[in-house]
Amino acid sequence: MDLPEVELCDRLRSLPMNDQERLTRFESEMLPLTNDAYNLARWLVQNDQDAHDMVQEAFLRAFRFFHGMRGETSKAWLLRIVRNVCYDHLRKRQVLSNSSDSDQENLPDTNPSPEAALQTKSEIAAVRSALSKLPEDFRTVLVLREMEELSYREISEITQVPIGTVMSRLARGRQHLTDLLKQMRAKDLL
């Protein structure tokens, strides 16, 4: 993370702007992150329509508090809002601790590159199912680390837990997932 750039962005953001300027600046900084936001929301709330709504709500909140963003990268800041919106939603639905059904819908047609670890649609579905069975805290850090490729520090900002906790959740999450996948292989599910 390039700190001077973050500081410069902070300064630019705090300049007085009219609404149109604010919207333009916000969109050029944030809209490219739409798919990242959706991916995280989708892994947290576990269905397409809710994830869709969560992302829209998160962008609205982000826009309202855009000028208050300080000392963080856009991605870490936006994903923290996405996570908060999703948690609010989950708390309302009280499904935070329940793992949901496996995700079979919305799978992209497989067109794997030669080095892709997962070759077929059913393999992807199986790994998705395993990952969505993980406790929510573990799933979040794994998605942020492996899919969004964020640093421990950024993950700590997003999930609001110390870096040491991020580290141990990643370790336990990976172990848990490895075991789950092994079980599935043993049952010939993968």
Partner 1 sequence: MTCSEFQKHIDPFLDNEVDLATAQEMQRHLEECADCETFFAGRLALRQCLQTPELRFVPATDLRSEIHAQLRKEIRPPSAHFHWLPRLQFPNWILPALAGAAAVLIFWFGSTTFLSPVRSSKGANNTLIEQLVSNHLRSLVGNHLFDVASSDQHTVKPWFAGKLNFSPPVFDFSDQGFKLIGGRLDYLGDEEAAAVVFQHQKHYINLFVWPRNQSTTWSDTILQKEGFNLYGWEANGLTIWAVTDAAPETLKTFVELEKQRMAE
> Site residues (CB under 8 A) for partner 1?
14, 16, 18-20, 22-23, 26-27, 31, 34-35, 38-39, 42-43, 48, 51-52, 55-56, 59-60, 63-64, 67, 106-108, 110, 112-113, 115-118, 124, 127-128, 131, 142, 145-147, 151-152, 167, 170-171, 174, 177-178, 181
Looking at the Cβ atoms of 32 and 94, the one nearer to partner 1 is 32
Q: How far is the CB of 67 from partner 1 (least distance, A)?
A: 8
Q: How far is the CB of 41 from partner 1 (least distance, A)?
A: 9
First to last CA, the chain: 38
Looking at the Cβ atoms of 94 and 99, the one nearer to partner 1 is 99
How far, in whole angstroms, is CA 157 from its chain's centroid? Answer: 13
- For residues 3 and 45, what is the distance between their CA atoms, to the nearest angstrom? 32
Looking at the Cβ atoms of 4 and 94, the one nearer to partner 1 is 4
Q: How far is the CB of 53 from partner 1 (least distance, A)?
A: 10
